[in-house]
C-alpha cells in the first residue's frame, strides 16, 4: 500500500516538474498563432456551458423586439462588436484574423438558434481564455438585451433594422486616423 502511495506521489511530482520545466523552457506554445489543443478547447467549452446552465436562469428579458430596439442593437453592434465579429459582408478584420480563439463572423455563423439567456450571459460576462470581452460593466442591461435581440433576429430583421445592419461599414475597412 505504502509503495503504491509513493508511486502516485512520485508520478504527480514528476508531472508537476515537467509542467514547470515546460513553462521555464518556453516549451508551451505562447504565441497567439498556435492552434488550441483539443484538451484545452474541451475544458474551456465544457466549463463555459456548465457555468451558463447554472447562472442564466437569473436573466429575464424585459424588452420586446420592436423596430427601435433592433435598430439600437444593430448600431451598438457596429460600435462594439463589428471589429471582431464582422458586418453583413461576413469578412473578418485584420485584428480578428490574428486571434488565438477565432471570433465567429456572426453574419454567416450566427447565434439565432441560441436561447436569449445564453447569449445575454456571454455579453454580460465575456468568454474567458478568448478575446470576447465582458460588457456587463460598460454597457447597460437595456443595451445588452437590445444586442441580444438583434443577434437572435439577425436572419429575419424587419426593414428598419435590416437597413441599419446593412449600413454598417465592412470590418475590413481601416478607420481613418
Q: How far apart are CA 75 and CA 145, in angstroms?
A: 13
Stretch that binds ligand HEC, among 7-15, 55-63, 127-135, 159-167 (CB under 6 A): 127-135
The only residue of 90, 104, 160, 162 in contact with ligand HEC, by rule CB under 6 A: 104
Minimum distance, C-beta of residue 149 to ligand HEC, in the bound complex (Å):
11
Stretch that binds ligand HEC, among 3-11, 58-66, 83-91, 155-163 (CB under 6 A): 83-91
Q: How far apart are CA 167 and CA 177, in angstroms?
A: 21
Burial code (b: 16+ CB inside 10 Å, e: under 16) for 80-98 equals bbbbbbbbbeebbbeebee
Q: Which is nearer to ligand HEC, 133 or 162 (CB)?
A: 133
Asked whether position 119 contacts ligand HEC by CB under 6 A, the answer is yes
Asked whether position 149 contacts ligand HEC by CB under 6 A, the answer is no
Q: How far apart are CA 112 and CA 25, in angstroms?
A: 44
Stretch that binds ligand HEC, among 4-12, 21-29, 97-105, 152-160 (CB under 6 A): 97-105
Q: Which is nearer to ligand HEC, 8 or 45 (CB)?
A: 45
Other C-beta atoms closer than 10 Å to the C-beta of 172 total 14
Q: How far apart are CA 172 and CA 177, in angstroms?
A: 15
Asked whether position 90 contacts ligand HEC by CB under 6 A, the answer is no
Q: How far apart are CA 171 and CA 174, in angstroms?
A: 8
The only residue of 52, 70, 84, 161 in contact with ligand HEC, by rule CB under 6 A: 84
Whether 103 contacts 84, CB under 8 Å: yes
Burial code (b: 16+ CB inside 10 Å, e: under 16) for 45-60 equals eeebeeebeeebeebe
The only residue of 105, 132, 161, 171 in contact with ligand HEC, by rule CB under 6 A: 132
Q: Which residues bind ligand HEC (CB under 6 A)?
A: 77, 80-81, 83-85, 99, 101, 103-104, 111, 119, 122-123, 127, 130-133, 135, 147, 151
Amino acid at each position: 500500500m505504502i509503495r503504491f502511495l509513493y508511486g502516485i506521489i512520485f508520478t504527480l511530482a514528476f508531472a508537476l516538474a515537467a509542467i514547470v520545466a515546460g513553462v521555464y523552457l518556453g516549451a508551451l506554445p505562447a504565441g497567439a498563432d498556435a492552434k488550441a489543443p483539443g484538451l484545452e478547447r474541451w475544458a474551456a467549452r465544457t466549463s463555459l456551458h456548465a457555468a451558463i446552465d447554472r447562472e442564466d436562469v437569473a436573466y429575464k428579458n424585459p424588452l420586446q423586439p420592436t423596430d427601435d430596439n433592433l435598430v439600437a442593437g444593430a448600431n451598438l453592434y457596429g460600435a462594439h462588436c463589428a471589429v471582431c465579429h464582422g458586418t453583413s459582408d461576413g469578412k473578418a478584420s485584420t485584428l480578428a484574423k490574428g486571434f488565438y480563439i477565432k471570433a465567429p463572423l456572426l453574419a454567416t455563423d450566427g447565434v439565432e438558434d441560441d436561447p436569449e439567456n445564453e447569449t445575454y450571459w456571454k455579453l454580460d460576462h465575456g468568454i474567458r481564455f478568448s478575446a470576447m470581452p465582458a460588457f456587463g460593466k460598460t454597457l447597460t442591461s437595456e443595451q445588452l438585451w437590445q444586442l441580444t435581440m438583434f443577434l437572435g433576429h439577425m436572419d429575419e430583421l424587419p426593414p428598419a433594422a435590416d437597413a441599419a445592419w446593412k449600413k454598417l461599414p465592412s470590418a475590413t475597412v481601416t478607420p481613418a486616423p
